[in-house]
Amino acid sequence: MNNNKKKQIIKAIKSNLGGYLFLAPWLIGFLVFTGIPFLYTFYLSFTNVNQTALGWQIKWNNFENYNDIFFKNTQFLPSLLEFIIMQVLYVPVILVISFILAVLLNQDIKGRAILRTIFFLPVIILSGSVMQQFISSGAANFASINSIFIFHIVSNYSRFFAQIIEVLFVNFTIVLWFTGIPIILFINALQKIDHQLYEATQIDGASWWQILWKITIPMVKSTALVVTIYTIVNLGLYNIRPRQSNITAIYDLIKNALGVTSNGLGYASAYAVLYTIVVFILVGFALLVLRNRDKVKVVESLQERQQKKLAWIQKRNKKKLMKGVNKND
Partner 1 sequence: MIKVEKLTNYVKKINYQHLRKKIFGNVTTDGLVFKIFVYLLLIGISYVFVYPFIRMILLSFMSQKDVLDNEVYWIPSKFTLESLRRACEVLGLPRNFKEWFNFKKVFKSSLMNSIKISTLYGLIQTLVAALTGFAFARFKFKLKNFWFAMVIFSFIVPLPVVMVPRIMMFETIQMKVKVLGTIYPQLFLTLFGQGVNNAILILIFYNFFKMIPHSLDEAARIDGANSLQVFWHIFIRMSLSIIVTVFLFAFVWNWNESYMTSTFLRYKIPLLPMNLSIFDSTFSNLYGGSNSAEQIRINESYKMAGTLITMLPLIILYIFAQRQFIEGIERTGITGE
Residue list 171-200, contact with partner 1 (CB under 8 A): 172-173, 176-177, 181, 184-186, 188-189, 192
Among 36, 96, 281, 321, binds partner 1 (CB under 8 A): 36
Q: Interaction with partner 1 in 222-281: which residues (CB under 8 A)? A: 222-223, 226, 229, 233, 236-237, 251, 254-255, 258, 265, 268-269, 271-273, 275-276, 279-280
Q: What is the 3-state secondary structure (H, E, C) of 22-90?
A: HHHHHHHHHHHHHHHHHHHHHHHCCEEEEECCCCEEEEECCCHHHHHHHHCCCCHHHHHHHHHHHHHHH
For residues 169 and 145, is the Cβ–Cβ distance under 8 A? yes
18 near partner 1 (CB under 8 A)? yes
Interface of this chain with partner 1, residues 70 to 129, rule: CB under 8 A: 101, 104-105, 107, 109, 115-129
- Residue 286-325 contact track with partner 1, rule CB under 8 A, x = bound: ----------------------------------------
Binding test (CB under 8 A) with partner 1, winner from 1, 2, 25, 204: 25
Residues in the chain: 329
C-alpha span between 311 and 322 (Å, rounded) = 16
Count, residues near partner 1 per rule CB under 8 A: 95
Shortest Cβ 32–partner 1 spacing (Å): 7
Q: Of residues 9, 40, 244, 262, which one binds partner 1 by CB under 8 A?
A: 40
As a whole number of angstroms, the distance between CA 220 and CA 193 comes to 9
From the number of C-beta atoms within 10 Å of its C-beta (0-12, 13-18, 19+), residue 221 rates as middle
Stretch 130-159: interaction string toward partner 1, x if CB under 8 A? x-xxx-xxxxx-x-----------------
Task: Please state the separation of Cα 275 from the chain's center in Å.
Answer: 13
Which of these segments, 11-19, 87-95, 152-160, 301-309, binds partner 1 (CB under 8 A)?
A: 11-19
Task: Choose, by CB under 8 A, the member of 7, 8, 29, 313 that binds partner 1.
Answer: 29
Alpha-carbon gap, residue 175 to 168, rounded angstroms:
8
Q: Which is nearer to partner 1, 177 or 242 (CB)?
A: 177
- Our CB check for partner 1 shows the closer of 162 and 265 to be 265
Question: Which secondary structure element, helix H or strand E, spans residue 256, and what is its range?
Answer: helix 250-259
d(Cα 159, Cα 156) in Å, to the nearest integer? 7
For residues 86 and 126, which CB has a smaller minimum distance to partner 1 in the complex? 126
Please give the backbone phi and psi of residue 49, each rounded to the nearest 5 degrees, phi first. -105, 125
Q: Could you tell me the smallest distance in angstroms from the CB atom of residue 67 to partner 1? A: 19
Q: What is the rounded distance in angstroms from the CA atom of residue 37 to the CA atom of residue 265?
A: 13
Residue from the set 6, 7, 38, 160 that interacts with partner 1 by CB under 8 A: 38
Q: Please report how close the Cβ of residue 68 comes to partner 1 at its closest, in angstroms.
A: 17
Partners of 56 in beta bridges: 51
Is beta strand 47-51 parallel, antiparallel or unpaired with respect to 56-60? Answer: antiparallel
